[in-house]
Amino acid sequence: EVQLLESGGGLVQPGGSLRLSCAASGFTFSTNAMGWVRQAPGKGLEWVSTINGDRTYYTDSRFTISRDNSKNTLFLQMNGLRAEDTAIYYCVKEGDLGYFDLWGRGTLVTVSS
Amino acid sequence: DIQVTQSPSSLSASVGDRVTITCRASRDIRTYLAWYQQKPGKVPKLLICAASTLQSGVPSRFSGSGSGTDFALTISSLQPEDVATYYCQKYDDAPLAFGGGTKVEIK
């Protein structure tokens, strides 16, 4: 079955760090661009980061995207977290040119003291 | 950075109505535009890429049009199962960006 399964979300204090993981299955992970999209409670979708080959793209330098092709796993390291980073973080597989054709169920990150 | 603006932010229509949602990019993005549907409590789903290419399994009452800066998503005959929030997304280049969303309800 083609799927993405995120983990690593949770409650973190402001200024803290968190590492999200996304386990991919059912497709050739290593040849696909992958990314993260987030959605704050009751708000719209926001692109966070993309990794395509050895190139990475971000909206925010506090975040670092990486991947382990041997384990079919995508990561998002988030540092210096703020209350406004509270959101569901979705792992996404990108289509040929940057649209998102497969979404995980998401993992909730809550930044609060 | 290129901005993407959707309108309206919400709409209410009757079953069987034709519904159109528009998306405007602040600069030319050719046809690098996708549309997504997010039903309440669910994960977003890709409906259309390349402005007008319907994804497999998406009902034919959905269609996309446009190029350059102006785009539209049309539902030819609104059905109860189409209640959702719809988002456009530009992907010509980083940073990728979504529109603010359009919430579609049944009158």
- Convert the pLDDT of each residue in A66-91 to its tens digit: 999 999 999 999 999 999 999 999 99
Contacts of A41 in chain B (CB under 8 A): none
Instruction: Say what percent of chain B tops pLDDT 70.
Output: 100
Question: Is the pLDDT assigned to residue A92 strictly greater than 90?
Answer: yes
**B99 beta partners:** none
Let me know: does A89 contact A20? Beta carbons within 8 Å: yes
Q: Is A89 touching B (CB cutoff 8 A)?
A: no
Instruction: Say what percent of chain A tops pLDDT 90.
Output: 94
Going by C-alpha positions, the residue among B5, B51, B98, B38 that lies closest to residue A103 is B38
pLDDT for A3 equals 97
Contacts of A37 in chain B (CB under 8 A): 44
Four-point Cα dihedral B9, B12, B13, B18, nearest 10: 0
Check CB contact under 8 Å for B46 and A44.
no
Average pLDDT, chain A: 96
pLDDT for A103 equals 98
**B49 beta partners:** B53
pLDDT for A95 equals 87
Reported as a pLDDT band with limits 50, 70 and 90, residue A96 is: confident
User: Is the CA virtual torsion B73, A41, B1, A78 positive or negative?
Assistant: negative
Q: Which residue of B has its CA nearest to A98?
A: B91
- Convert the pLDDT of each residue in A10-29 to its tens digit: 999 999 999 999 999 999 99
Reported as a pLDDT band with limits 50, 70 and 90, residue B84 is: very high
Determine which of B9, B21, B43, B85 to mutate to test the interface with A (most A C-beta atoms within 10 Å).
Answer: B43
Of B36, B43, B96, the CB nearest to A98: B96
Average pLDDT, chain B: 97
**B106 beta partners:** B13
* Phi-psi group of A96: left, alpha or beta (phi > 0 → left; psi -120 to 50 → alpha; rest → beta): alpha
pLDDT for A7 equals 97
Q: What whole-number distance in Å separates Cα of residue A14 and Cα of residue B71?
A: 40
pLDDT for A20 equals 98
Question: Is the pLDDT assigned to residue B37 strictly greater than 90?
Answer: yes
Going by C-alpha positions, the residue among A80, A91, A88 that lies closest to residue A43 is A88
The mean per-residue pLDDT over the stretch A5-14 comes to 98
pLDDT for B15 equals 98
Q: Is A52 touching B (CB cutoff 8 A)?
A: no
Contacts of A103 in chain B (CB under 8 A): 43-45
Q: What whole-number distance in Å separates Cα of residue B45 and Cα of residue B83?
A: 13
Q: Is A97 touching B (CB cutoff 8 A)?
A: yes
Going by C-alpha positions, the residue among B82, B6, B71, B100 that lies closest to residue B37 is B82
Q: What whole-number distance in Å separates Cα of residue B63 and Cα of residue B58?
A: 10
Q: Is A87 touching B (CB cutoff 8 A)?
A: no
Check CB contact under 8 Å for B98 and A45.
yes
Reported as a pLDDT band with limits 50, 70 and 90, residue A59 is: confident
Question: Is the pLDDT assigned to residue A97 strictly greater than 90?
Answer: no
Count contacts between A and B (CB, < 8 Å).
56
Check CB contact under 8 Å for A44 and B55.
no
Helices (H) and strands (E) in chain A, counts: 0, 11
Residue B58 CB neighbour total at 10 angstroms: 15
What DSSP character marks residue B28?
-
Q: What is the DSSP string of A56-94?
A: EEES-TTEEEEEEGGGTEEEEEE-S--GGG-EEEEEEEE
